[in-house]
A and B are shown apart, each in its own frame.
Chain A
Amino acid sequence: MPYLGGEETVRELRRALSNPHIQTDHLRYRNTIHRVIRLMSQGVDVSGLFSEMVKACATGDIVQKKLVYVFLCSYASVNPELSLLVINTLRKDCSDPNPMVRSLALRNMCNLRLPGLCEYVEQPLTAGLKDKAACVRRVAVLGWAKIHALLPNTEIDAAVVNELYGLLRDPDPVVMVNCLRALEEILEEEGGVAINKPIAHHLLNRLKECDVWGQSEVLSVLQRYRPRSEDELFDILSLLDPALLSHHVPIMAATLRLFLSLCSMLPAVCVSALERARGPLLAAAGSSSRELRYAALCHIQLLLRSEPGLMGEHYKRFYCGYAEPPYIKQSKIQVLVELVNDDNVAVVLDELKGYCTDVNTETSQAAINAIGSIGRSYDDRCLGILTGLLELKQEHITSAVLQTLRDLVWVSPQYGDAVCSALEKWEDQLQDTQGRGALLWLLGVYGDRLSGAPYILEDFIDGVRSEVSAEVKTELLTATLRVFLSRPAETQDMMGRLLQHCIEEELDMCVRDQALLYYRLLHCGIEDVRRVLQCGRRSDLSLGPLIGRPPEPISQWASIFNTLEPLMLGASSAGNSDPSTLTPYTLTSHSEPMTSDPHLMTPNLSSTLSPEEFERLWLQTEKGEFLEAYVMCPVPRCSPESLQVALQLVNIQTLAFTAPNKLPWKISTTPPNTLILAEVLQAGGDGVKKVKEELIEDQENEREESTNTHILITPC
């Protein structure tokens, strides 16, 4: 920006503004003011010119007046005393014969945002409510809302409120809508405008006169109205019905929302309203504005939660375009998965296959995941596509495919053979942690059928010293042990090396702990190992309902329809996860003990514990001692990683946590939970106790800043 740092420029402008020659030549005067505003919008502080600009305000030139007002409204709060000087000019303008001047003055008088000036403003505002020109009344009505916002503690005169109610019958539709808006703000504590039957019917009848913005505003206010009888309800519905087909998306969305709230007791009506609105929604999903397209896609995802069959035949509308941004492609892929049925599954798979090689890594991973989740309920072609992708030998594709295969065979064990034959020829090196974890899991589970499994494991074990990820190491331990069960001769030696390394040299407590666990387990005998390790091989029968998710009732999401929330669901809110906000005290506050003995924890921040010492303490505690407590405490919504960091600050080691936005399908049926398993060492009154802790971060109420956390403390 060329003008930045404009001490000199400001001085020069001040000279120009007070130059009588310029002041008399109104074009030059206006140009100088132009330059001031330009500087202002570039972020230069020009508040020093306030008094000169106040003088420039007294002019007959409307363009100049407008420019000066822009300036004054920005800097009035910095110069409250000087602003008093403007009031006189403004009040004079309020009685100008030109309605445009009147409305301009009135609007900017309120926009100065100085509580001290309110007493001067009230009189012109009261007069403005009765003005002949509609544009002045529009401004005056909103002016009262501005005054209320400036002085939230003073009551607005009841006479004014009555007058505003009266102005709902104003012939100008914008005045009417502004009255609604102003009353909503002024009467916020009483729950907004009182919508009784006459007002509701008046608003409904005048809906047609309003423009797009007014209509959607009125429709959202009408949500509070409850019709007295069924007849009245259906009269309202049939009056609003054409608006469901409006090609103005805001109106359609507001109407649909009103329908859903009016008919919350009549699900059949809701469903037919959704069907009516399908056309406009689909049109919006193909709109030329990509932002609108995205908003429509997010809302379609909401609808599909209750009515999976709603868009079935229109699945081709959700094909991705080459030039579309990744976020649109990904939500289209998510919609496509929902729309799959017996007839179109082959076509959709073909289309998804094309996206697997997308330039954007996230998009291609989303497509691979989508194919995997179609595979849970549909045919074997999915597996063919997925294993075919392995041949491309692209790092990110291979990793995503392996993870998808792991999830797939967990749910549908019948694919085991096909996965084995795909892994038979495995010879690649993977860099990606998650992909390696998935590969190891598959190797462990199918170790008996994959002839090469021990050799792949051996490569991993040889490289274990350079392995950084604890996740991969624990997965490696489990996999090796599982393979050992089926092929002891080939595996025994390398398992010994691995266990030795993990127990003696490993610094990560979780890995070491697990290695010790397996070591002791092996001492107990091979049958015990088999019992512990192989029970996880078959998927749980109770997972059935998870795969064919039942349709949700519409009321589940009706309250967030047409709000910003559906658009935020996919996005983890950036920048509000600060580990330091998690103090130890939040973890123990608001205790709600379930047992008689709460045993609240106060973490000791000073102690540092080496893995060896931890183990010694762990072994010291007697068996049979049992403690269970639920601690409810608020935890700011943040990513599991930052929660882990925060817990580490207070010496709580997390054993495992689910990745963000992943379905913890093995544990819980409510999707947006993050489950954290942690171990704490509790120093109580009588020596050291072992505490095992499960943190379930409940993210269901995402709207609230803080949510409840259940901490289950069970020392063994």
Chain B
Amino acid sequence: MISQVFILSSKGDHLIYKDFRGEAGCDAVNKFYEMVTTLTGDQPPVVMKHKELHYVHIRQGGLYWVATTKADSSPFTIIEFLNRLTALIKDYCGCLSEKSVRMNFALIYEVLDEVVDFGYIQTTSTDILKNFIQTEAVSAKPLSLFDLSNVGLFGADTQQNKVAPSVAATRPIMSSRGEQGGKNEIFVDVIERISVVIGANGVLMKADIEGEIRVKCYMPSCSEMRIGLNEEFSIGKSQLRGYGAAVRVDECSFHQAVRLDEFDTYRILKLCPSQGEQTVMQYQLCDDLPTAPPFRLFSSIERDTGGRLLIYLKLRCDLPPKRSVLHLNNNPALPLFSYSLFSSLSQELSSPDQSAELQPQNKAVHWEIPRFPGGAQLSALFKLEVPGLSSASLQEVGSISLSFELPKYTCTGLQIRFLRLSPIQPGASQRWVRYVTHSDSYTIRI
């Protein structure tokens, strides 16, 4: 059971405070902030204790979401609840930020009131909650001139209408006002998170993919949705289907609302999506990637005559060239140790839109590449002025970590064949399918 739930901004401002059981005073909020800001490095901060009161918190959207409890509750339940709460509030408010929480505090109190009673979680399903929640969300989105650019010349239908604006999926699920309100839209996202370790000799040491299919539904009523996956999709090692390039995953689990009667033969998921966002399917693949990892790196580190450290990096993108419109953020970082010794950094990058900077507090060089087409190759030469450079210092150059986002691409090859809604929705309903692969842990050893 939960004693209190509160939301704090990163600066410690009280945004939301709700006491469910009256067991602990509201000074708990200040106590929490005091503890969380004075944490020393080796203290795991997820669960903290002060005088019989346990504080469990998560960080989302730059905010602290805290639940306190006196009883010895299940950590998984509380953490999952806080995660679910953030997802709910994201659904209702459109996006998660200090501003949207501040603007929608009445709505959030209402949600909390319905979700938890006397510290016990009642329901977190949007299907049930929509009957109770009455307050309307205030959109925290500022008016942007960028939206106007989608309007074609003389109102003509432009190509851009076939692409949903990127903010389309960040609006509240219930809004009757505004030009986007009432639009019957459904978003199906295939999101894959890839983590890779490539050894110094170029051998793939570890590759994991964790993927999920997320459905975000804005339709007030949708009786059934059928999602067709690749027919050659197979689970586990033994089960190979057909002769083509199989799309294989190791483990796969589904949301409990998904009906799988057509899954075994036709690879079709059937479900009745409730309003808001939900994860329909999760899957994992370890070690056995169907394609080569998307990036290779060639590096050489030398010491020049002037005592400077020369780091030459060549990054190649191994994706097929036809996927040339890859919008991609690329942040390789070099953990260099004797950072205090650096006095300057000079760089030679292969194109002007890239940038690089030295980050002394992270002991890293940060190289950012806004766009990186498939099949292309980029190179950079960093010269670091290191006084007293010894040959041992060359060892200190650790690994290179990339984080990136690959839109319209899945590493497993999972595709959505079709998306059918039944019965046919009255009015204009729009279905969007989006693919993205991202990584914050793509490590290449030097």
Residues in chain A within 8 A of chain B (CB atoms): 1, 34, 37-38, 41-43, 62-63, 66-67, 70, 74, 100, 107, 110, 113, 135, 138-139, 142, 145-146, 149, 174, 177-178, 181, 211-213, 216-217, 220, 245-250, 252-254, 279-280, 283-284, 286, 288-289, 291-292, 294-296, 298, 314, 316-317, 319, 321-324, 326-327, 330-331, 347, 350-351, 354, 357-362, 388, 391-394, 562-568, 570-576
Contacts and interface: CB of A to CB of B under 8 A. Distances in A.
B44 A567 contact: yes
Interface stretch (B155-163, B410-418, B438-446): B438-446
Contacts of B245: none
Given A66-B134, A247-B253, A393-B392, A321 B106 contact: no
Interface string B1-23: 10000000000011111010110
A323 B50 contact: no
B106 A34 contact: yes
Q: Which 3 A-B pairs have the closest CB atoms?
A: A321-B441, A322-B401, A247-B253
A145 B77 CA distance: 21
Nearest to B191: A288
Contacts of B38: 574
28 contacts: A41-B17, A42-B13, A63-B106, A70-B113, A138-B117, A213-B121, A252-B76, A289-B58, A294-B44, A294-B46, A295-B76, A298-B75, A316-B206, A317-B208, A321-B443, A322-B401, A322-B441, A330-B42, A351-B197, A357-B335, A362-B41, A391-B395, A392-B392, A394-B338, A566-B75, A568-B49, A574-B43, A576-B49
A571 B118 CA distance: 29
A43 to B, nearest CB: 5
B254 to A, nearest CB: 8
Given A38-B105, A248-B80, 19 more contacts: A66-B110, A138-B122, A174-B123, A211-B123, A211-B124, A213-B124, A253-B76, A283-B282, A291-B56, A291-B79, A291-B82, A295-B76, A298-B44, A316-B287, A319-B206, A321-B440, A354-B398, A394-B337, A564-B47
B46 A63 contact: no
B394 to A, nearest CB: 11
Contacts, number: 242
A107 B132 CA distance: 14
B21 to A, nearest CB: 7
Interface in B286-304: 286-287
Nearest to A366: B42
Nearest to A33: B106
A393 B150 CA distance: 58
B251 interface: yes
Interface string B74-87: 11110111110000
B109 interface: yes
A331 B44 contact: yes
A163 to B, nearest CB: 18
Contacts of B443: 321-322, 354
Contacts of B56: 291, 564
A247 B282 contact: yes
Contacts of B147: none
B433 interface: no
A279 B72 contact: no
Interface of B: 1, 13-17, 19, 21-22, 35, 38-39, 41-51, 54, 56-59, 69, 72-77, 79-83, 105-106, 109-110, 113, 117-118, 120-125, 131-132, 134-135, 193, 195, 197, 199, 205-206, 208, 210, 251, 253-254, 256, 282, 284, 286-287, 333, 335, 337-338, 362-364, 392-393, 395-396, 398-399, 401, 403, 440-441, 443, 445
Contacts of A279: 251
B397 to A, nearest CB: 9
A572 B43 contact: yes
Contact of B363 (A138, A280, A317, A359): A359
Contacts of B59: 291
Nearest to A73: B19
Nearest to A30: B106
B41 A571 contact: no
B307 to A, nearest CB: 16
B72 A70 contact: no
B51 to A, nearest CB: 7
Contacts of B337: 357, 392, 394
Nearest to A322: B401
Which among A41, A70, A571 has the highest number of chain B CB atoms within 10 Å?
A: A41
B109 A575 contact: no
A291 B46 contact: yes
Given A139-B117, A283-B284, A322-B440, A564 B75 contact: yes
A146 B395 CA distance: 64
B4 to A, nearest CB: 12
Contacts of B251: 279, 283
Contacts of A358: 335
A571 B2 CA distance: 21
B284 A149 contact: no
Nearest to A355: B398
B50 A574 contact: yes
Nearest to B193: A288
A596 to B, nearest CB: 41
Given A41-B14, A41-B105, A322-B441, A575 B35 contact: yes
- Binding site secondary structure of chain B: mixed
A567 B46 contact: yes
Given A247-B282, A289-B83, A324-B441, A388 B47 contact: no
Contact of B441 (A43, A181, A280, A323): A323
Contacts of A254: 74, 77
B76 A250 contact: yes
A100 B132 contact: yes
Contacts of B440: 321-323
A571 B50 contact: no
Contacts of B197: 319, 351
Nearest to B287: A316
Best-surrounded residue of B16, B82, B251 (most CB of chain A within 10 A): B251
Contacts of A149: 21-22
Contact of B79 (A62, A110, A178, A292): A292
A260 B210 CA distance: 29
A55 to B, nearest CB: 19
A601 B240 CA distance: 77
Contacts of B122: 138, 174, 178, 213
A113 to B, nearest CB: 5
A575 B45 CA distance: 14
Which one of B22, B43, B76 has the highest number of Cβ atoms from chain A below 10 Å of its Cβ? Answer: B76
Nearest to B364: A359
Contact of A563 (B39, B74, B82, B333): B74
A253 B19 CA distance: 27
A135 B129 CA distance: 11
A247 to B, nearest CB: 4
Nearest to A177: B120
Contacts of B14: 41-43
A326 B42 CA distance: 8
Contacts of A350: 199, 205
A63 B205 contact: no
Nearest to B442: A322
A63 B135 CA distance: 6
B75 A563 contact: yes
A212 B80 contact: yes
Given A37-B105, A250-B77, A354 B445 contact: yes
A5 to B, nearest CB: 15
Nearest to B23: A149
A244 to B, nearest CB: 12
A571 B135 CA distance: 41
Contacts of B132: 100, 135
Contacts of A563: 72-75
